Every structure is written in structure tokens, then in C-alpha cells.
Chain A
Amino acid sequence: MSENLPVLQVVVPLLLAPIAALVRRPLLSWLVAMAAAIWAFGASLGLLSRVLAEGTISYHLGAWAPPWGIEYRVDALNAFVLVIVSAIAAVVMPYAKSSVEREVASDRVSLFYTALILCMTGLLGIAITGDVFNVFVFLEISSLSAYALIALGPDRRALTSSYQYLIMGSVGATFIVIGIGLMYSMTGTLNMADLAQRLPLVAGTRTIPVAFAFLAVGISLKLALFPLHLWLPNAYAYAPSAVTAFIASTATKVAVYLLLRFFFTIFGPAFSFDVMQLDRILMPLALVAIVTMSISAIYQVNVKRLLAYSSVAQIGYMVLGISLVSVFGLAAGILHLFNHALIKGSLFMAMGCVMYSVGSVRLDDMAGLGKSMPFTMAAFVLGGLSLIGVPLTVGFISKWYLVQAALEQGLWPVAVLVLMGSLLAVVYVWKVVEVAYFRTPPEGRTVGEAPLSLLIPTWVLVLANLYFGIDAKLTAGVAIEAARMLLGVAS
């Protein structure tokens, strides 16, 4: 059975999703969702260790050899992404129980978990597959469930932001389909490895650069790369807390993975960066995103929205790393995938605790929370420090690699802008800290600390921030290995 592990990674949650819908009891559905998340986490760890020991795994669905059948192909990069997605799911699921009870109507809870499992399944499916059309199918599974989950937020603006996300997401998906179709017309194949071999033969035509452009725009829409990020702030701000915590730490990460997969594995760095010069577009966009979105974050009064703008800026860091096209730069980008998932996961989960106890995440409503919710706010502070990039946190590791990679190429202005982004992060994190610790709460308000069922998962992520900030050997090792593989450099 262990040879089937790659497909079981996806199929077990996919089978558990309808079961979660059928049991129709909130508690049972939650247990099913827990089982799905824990299974996925275990399977992804198994896959990662196997990939690191034995190299790339190829699994032939339906026993049809690629390119005739669909292939699952697991290497260091996507095994790492699988671990990120399923680890976050495994932390968010236990957290979701109390949070969802408070925020989602009880007759919907069962379907809520179904949608959450489907969203995770879709993301895992995108990450693991070696077939470009299969990417599209699983992309839609994750997107459709994400639209529905976001719309469940308690504010009516959740509906409009979900609609906006649906429109922009569908445009992105359709662009990706156009790109796939153009590639298919020139090569006759949909298998990624096969495409990588056949594309160079036809790369001189006009069609392939256009396919490249459509894929670039489509994926950028999904990953909310500035200036295509317009759907993101509202979607994150108004979704239920557990949904924000999950989607913010996984969905854009998987989109970044797709960017890497398409432009490094399929088109190859030579075509993407020497011929198409994608780095010349990505780098300025990333830098603008880091600066402008961090400034926008400062002006937000809704803390979830503030963190959402910060997310767009952080996506800038990942894309910046990629645009350096060096082992260090790529490793920094890939490392930040993981690290940012931990950072934003813990911050949004802390906000979920605030939502639970206070019923609002507006800055004004958070006065005095440092006293009344000490554990929640301590988690927020530590997450915030990690976001800024203070030593001994994961945020520092990412920035360290990124600055080094920039300096390695003599791009000191880039390094300066990265550090400036950190300073701006100090400003917006401080804004929250100041209100929570130094402003007196309104008279007569009694707010209690969030329950342990919320605090424990939050603190698990916070401690992970510290652990992987001190001992980055494992994560950095995988990231460098993945970066070498993408660039085709022997390790």
C-alpha cells in the first residue's frame, strides 16, 4: 500500500469530504475533518522523507505511463509545499471547532467542514500533480470552496469580497487554461516533464511566449501579486477567522509554487529569464508591493485587513527571491513560503481569538486587550516580531537569506528596500501593540481570555515560529535542495 502514498495523500481527504457532508452533525463532521488533516499531514511527512532519501517519486494514475495518463510527481519542492499545506490544516482544524461555533450558523457547520476539507484537497492536488490540466481541475476545487468559505463571514461585505474574488479568480483560471491550450497546440502534451522536453523545440514561435504571458498573468492573479491583488484584502478581512488563517497561509503559497513549477520546471530558467526576462517584471513589482502595501497596511483600522495588506507585501518578498534567479534567492523565496505560512497563520489565529472574545477586530475595539487577553496578545506580539524579522524568529531567517542573495548580486538597493519593508512592518505591528497594551479599555467592558482550544493551536504555530527561527537546518536544507533542483544545479 505504501507505493500508493502519493495518491492517498489526495484521495483520502477527497473521500472524507463527502463523508463529512453525509454525517450531518457538526461534531462528527469536525472529527472527519480532523482525520483528513491529520492523515494529510502524516502522508506529506512520509512523502517528504521518502523524496529526500530516494529522490523524485513518479506515480502513474490508472497505471497509464505518462504522457498518456496523468502522473503524480513528487520532488523536494512540492513535497515541502504539501507539508506546508497539510501542517497548517492540521493546526487550523482543531482551532476551527470553537471559532466556527461562534462565527458560523450551526446548520451550516457540517458543510463548512466539507468545504474546508475540499479546499485543502484542492491545494494538495495542485501541489502534487505532474499534469498541467490536472492543475486546473484541482485549482477549481480549491477556489470554489474558498469562495464559499469566505462568503460565510459574519459581515455582509464577506459576500461582495467573495464575489470579487470569484470574478478575479475565474479570470485567472481562464487565463491559465488559455496558456495551457496554446502550449498544447504546439507540443501535443499536457505532462509537465514531457512539456519541459518539447517546449524548447518550439520556443522560437510567437505562440509559446504568448502562452507564457497568459500563464504568468493567470498565476499572478491567483497569488495576488501587486497590482493584481485587489481581491485579497477584503477576502481575508471578512472571511471567518479559521478560514482566513487557513487560506492566508496556504492558498497564495500554492500559487507561488505554481509560478515556480511553470517557469522553472516547465519553461526552464533559460527561457523564462533569459528570453522572456520575467525577472525584469517581477522584481520591480515585488519591490513596489513590499513598499506600497506595507504603507497601506499602516493606514488600516481593521487589523485583519492590516494583516492582509501585509500579506500582499510578504508575497512581494517571495517573488523578489524568485526574481533573483539564484540558488540563494530561490531558497529565500521557498523558505519564506514556509516561514510566512507560520507567521501569518499565528497572527490570523490570534485575531481569531480576539474575534471570539471581543466580537470585532477593529483597532478601536482592541484597547486594553494586553491585560484582558494576555496569552492572545503575547502570541500576536511574537508573531509580529517574526513578521518584522527579529532574530530568533523565522522571519529573520527569510530576510537573512533574501538580503544575502541580493548582496551576492551587488543589488544593495534591493537589500535596502527589504530592510525598509521591515521598518514599515515595525510601524504597523506597533500600532496594534500600542492600542492593546497602552490604551485604556472603555469602562465597564469585561473581556475574557480565549478558550484553550483556540490558544493551544495558536501557540503551537507561535512556538514553531521560534523553533524554526533558531534551528533552520531542516527547512533551509530542503529549500536549498529545491532551489538547486529548479535551477538544474547539481548539489
Chain B
Amino acid sequence: MRLLGYFNYWIVVVLMMVGFYTMISRGNLVKKLVGLSVFQTSVMILYISLGKIFGGTAPILLEGQEHVIYTNPIPSVLILTAIVVGVATLAVGLALVVRINEAYGTIEEDEIHQQDDVM
């Protein structure tokens, strides 16, 4: 069980890094944003994993029952906020992509640089 516990964290780290790599290695502006959202989502999995308690139940109080183990509510609360922040960033990023496409006719980073260098 102990190994499984760490296995969970490691997979999450790998997921985070795939997202991060997509973000910094690709030149397509939409793909970068997809990478960012995978990166952020994976960080959220890490948080939620922190809150889990084996044998626990969702943090909704059950009436009349004592000695119930509830999963930690704090990571959930933080991640609810983080999800909203993530989609907010994504919306602004995509709006920028639309405008860049209108101004340059492309969303590939190298082609944009070429156009700016010519001038």
C-alpha cells in the first residue's frame, strides 16, 4: 500500500511534466495553452491526492453518525478556486491567440518571429 501511495504521486509528477513539456517545447500557440491546462490540472490532482484519507468519505456531514472519517476539505476548496483561475487564464490566452492570428495570419511561434524580424 505504501508503494501505491508514492506511485500515485509519481504518476502525477509525470503528468505534470508532460503538460509542462508540451507547453515549453511546442511552437503552436494553442497547443501551448493546452499544455498549460494539462500542467495545471495535474497540479490539481496532486492537491486532491493530498486530501484523500483511506476509508474516508466525501466531506458532507452525515447526521446521527459518529466517528465517520471525512476526507480533508481544504484541498477541495483550494482547487475549486484554482480551476476557476485556470479557465480564466485560458480564456484570456485564447483571446490573445485569436488576435495574434488576425495580426499575423499564423499561430506558429517561429513564423511570427520571422515576420517581426523582417521589419
Contacts and interface: CB of A to CB of B under 8 A. Distances in A.
Touch between chains A and B, by CB atoms below 8 Å: yes
B43 A166 contact: no
B116 A174 contact: no
Given A137-B81, A160-B104, A174-B36, 14 more contacts: A133-B81, A137-B85, A147-B96, A156-B103, A157-B116, A159-B96, A163-B96, A166-B89, A166-B93, A167-B23, A167-B36, A171-B20, A171-B36, A174-B40
Contacts of B74: 184, 190
Nearest to A133: B78
B18 interface: no
Contact of B92 (A160, A166, A174, A190): A166
A276 to B, nearest CB: 21
B89 to A, nearest CB: 6
A363 interface: no
B99 A177 contact: no
A158 to B, nearest CB: 9
Contacts of B47: 181
27 contacts: A133-B81, A136-B85, A140-B88, A147-B92, A148-B92, A151-B96, A151-B99, A156-B104, A157-B116, A159-B96, A160-B100, A160-B104, A160-B116, A162-B96, A163-B93, A163-B100, A166-B89, A166-B92, A166-B93, A167-B32, A167-B93, A170-B40, A171-B23, A178-B43, A178-B46, A185-B50, A190-B74
Nearest to B36: A170
B118 to A, nearest CB: 13
Contacts of A160: 100, 104, 112, 116
Nearest to A140: B85
A61 to B, nearest CB: 15
Interface residues of A, number: 25
Interface of chain A: mostly helix, strand, loop or mixed: helix
B99 A144 contact: no
A178 B43 CA distance: 7
B46 A181 contact: yes
The 9 closest A-B pairs by CB, nearest first: A156-B103, A163-B96, A140-B85, A159-B100, A185-B50, A159-B99, A181-B47, A166-B93, A144-B92
Contacts of A137: 81, 85
A163 B78 contact: no
Contacts of A167: 23, 32, 36, 93
Interface string A122-162: 00000000000100110010001001100100001101101
A181 B50 contact: yes
B82 interface: yes
Contacts of A170: 36, 40, 89, 93
Contacts of A151: 96, 99
B97 A163 contact: yes
Contacts of A140: 85, 88-89
B43 A177 contact: yes
